[in-house]
Amino acid sequence: MKGKIGIQMIIGALLLLCLIQTVAATTTIVVAAADASPASKAAAQIVCPGTNDQAWINEAFNRLPAEGGIVQLTEGTFHSSGWIYPSQNSQFLGSGEDKTTIDVYNATDAYQPIHVQQDNVLIKGFTLRGEGFFLIRTNHVTLQDITATSIGADGVRKPSGGNGMFFIWVDNNYTGDITFQNCKAIDCNTHGFNMNANRDTGINSTGTRTGTNSYAISNLKFVNCQAIRCGYGVADGSSSEFATGFDIQEDNDLQNVEMDNCLAEDNWENGFHFEPGYLGTKNVVLNNCVSRNNGQRNPAVEPFNDVFVSGYYIHRNAILNNCVAINNKNAGFFTHDGSNTTFNNCVDIGSTYGFKIVKGSSDITLNNCQGRNEKAWAFWTAFSDKVTVKNFFQANAGGKSGYQDNIGFYYGSPKYEFSTTNSNFDITAFGSSLPIINEAGNGNTYSLKTASADQVPTVTDITAATVPAVYVTGYSATTQGATQVSQVVAVATTVAPAATQTTTTTSDGWSGFGKSFGSTSSGFGSFGSSSSFQSGGNALGVAVSSSQSIAASIGSTWGGFTGRTFGF
């Protein structure tokens, strides 16, 4: 009986604790913009002056109880010149992407993030403009219904201090359980989405990267996200010539990633980018994604051996289902040093090359895929092994060097120009009189057919989003005045006006490190045997030690090369 009573008391205590936590979670601090309506200001606990508004937003987070709560922004434009710090267990909410704007500009320092360094944070419902970006360095984070752009509220494109508008930086033992839903990066001077890590970049005697700190991003999800017109070379404030739509993997290991219904359009380099080679990659799945017109603004021309400019640059332990590539400058689907990657019902339309499987790839499968109206080869593979092409249909391939498809050629490079072996090619072609493929290599089987009628696929289509216009409230700080007011919050805790603006900006020891290293992506040492570069791609090099010969087994020692160092 005593045991039963004890259990009941424990259950009762837990229920009471949950109730307390639920009540605390409803604590809300409303922060009004300087141009918010009089009614919104009257309902707010804090009214911003219209300059250095980040100080007052941070004050709102400081006023939340330890259990967390909500910082609610009203309609209008918040003008920030510094870092914003969401607190643990908090929600940072705007009034909608079309109603709330955070406009960021600092004349002396463009590195001004919303810095998510505490876990259990939800951010939702506003447009971030100018120099602002999201820097995430923790776990259990969700971003929803956010638009980020480098174009300020004044219509002027601002320089980018961050390495991505949505930037995850791993410098701890666990970063993950992060979801982006309905997040859009549009007209950005840097990557739309960028994942990266601080890890040891030592080089062993064979030139392969090594390190004890292989930091991973785990359980990462993108739903209905878009990256549009990210990167402008080095013009208009871009930090480098390497900028992609979704840069999901740079120096970070990657585990359990799902991307659903995402769009990459008109980005400077790749639409979707994953580094090949040395990185630990597990369980990457892309469903119903679209990558179109990427690389078209980039002035690079064939042979594209110093740029990517492709739709999907993806390699290891990945599955792509019903994904579409349209009119990308280089390849629609590009696998380099790949392994255990499958393309199901994927379609390329109008890229220079449809599917490009090269440079040490093995165990790559195409099921029921199509290449349509490619400017050159619909399918291209070289220096690879165990490539399986099942029920591949190609229509109106432009062809090159006398064939619709190619095995073995790789820009005339003696390092990589070798046939693909132990592979199966089941290809049906329509609309071209050229031979389908040069039957090169050892251990391959071929089933090659010519169709009398086209087979037009049903493909995924995603409409590109636009940046919401800056909401005009009809009010201004000048006409209303800007004061900080005090009212009672939801749990009857009186919030008194702060004597000082107690932000944590000056005490954040990481800020200097982030500017020096985080913003340059993978600028951490040398790659290969003598090449050094940053993810920005300003320094490209090729250096192969004598021990890294072509005789090396495919997919083994090639991991030290990485995509940017060793051709494309």
Give the helix/strand (H/E) hosting 478: helix 477-480
More confident residue, 561 or 254: 254
Quote the CA–CA distance of 150 and 156 in Å, as a whole number: 8
Both tokens of residue 70? 């909500």
Categorize the per-residue pLDDT at 236 as very low, low, confident or very high, splitting at 50, 70 and 90. Answer: confident
DSSP category for residue 456: P
For residue range 331-342, what is the model confidence (pLDDT) as tens digits? 999 999 999 999
Distance separating alpha carbons of residues 233 and 267, to the nearest angstrom = 10
- What are the tens digits of pLDDT across the range 329-369? 999 999 999 999 999 999 999 999 999 999 999 999 999 99
Query: Measured in whole angstroms, how far is the alpha carbon of residue 153 from the centre of its chain?
Result: 24
Q: Strand, helix or coil at 25?
A: helix
C-alpha torsion angle, residues 178, 220, 127, 102 (rounded to 10): 40
Asked whether the CA dihedral 100, 105, 110, 111 is positive or negative, the reply is negative
Question: By C-alpha distance, which of 85, 82, 111 is closest to 515?
Answer: 111
Report whether 177 contacts 218 (CB < 8 A): yes
Lookup: tokens for 200? 């040891």
Q: Is 128's pLDDT higher than 70? A: yes
Q: How confident is the model at residue 480, as a pLDDT?
A: 55
User: Hey, is 60 helix, strand or coil?
Assistant: helix
- Supply the pLDDT for residue 278: 61
Tell me the mean pLDDT in the region 49-62: 98
Chain segment 17-34, per-residue pLDDT in tens: 444 444 444 799 999 999
pTM: 0.83
Question: Residue 356 and residue 147: Cα distance in Å, rounded?
Answer: 33
**Is the separation of the CB atoms in 152 and 105 below 8 Å?**
yes
Alpha-carbon span 546 to 531, nearest angstrom: 15
Is the confidence at residue 552, as pLDDT, over 90? no
Specify the pLDDT at position 508. 44
Q: Averaged over 498-527, what is the pLDDT?
A: 36
Rounded CA-CA distance 146/125 in Å is 6
pLDDT recorded at residue 493: 31
**pLDDT of res. 146:** 98
Domain positions in the chain are 25-157
Helix, strand, or coil (residue 144): strand
Q: Is the pLDDT of residue 301 over 50?
A: yes
**Cα–Cα distance measured from residue 129 to residue 293, given in angstroms and rounded to the nearest whole number:** 24
Residue 383 in this model has a pLDDT that exceeds 80: yes
Sign of CA dihedral 410, 415, 417, 422: negative
Tens of pLDDT along 80-100?
Answer: 999 999 999 999 999 999 999
What's 557's DSSP letter?
A: G
Q: What is the mean predicted confidence (pLDDT) over 384-405?
A: 98
- Select from 216, 223, 412 the least CA-distant residue to 303: 412
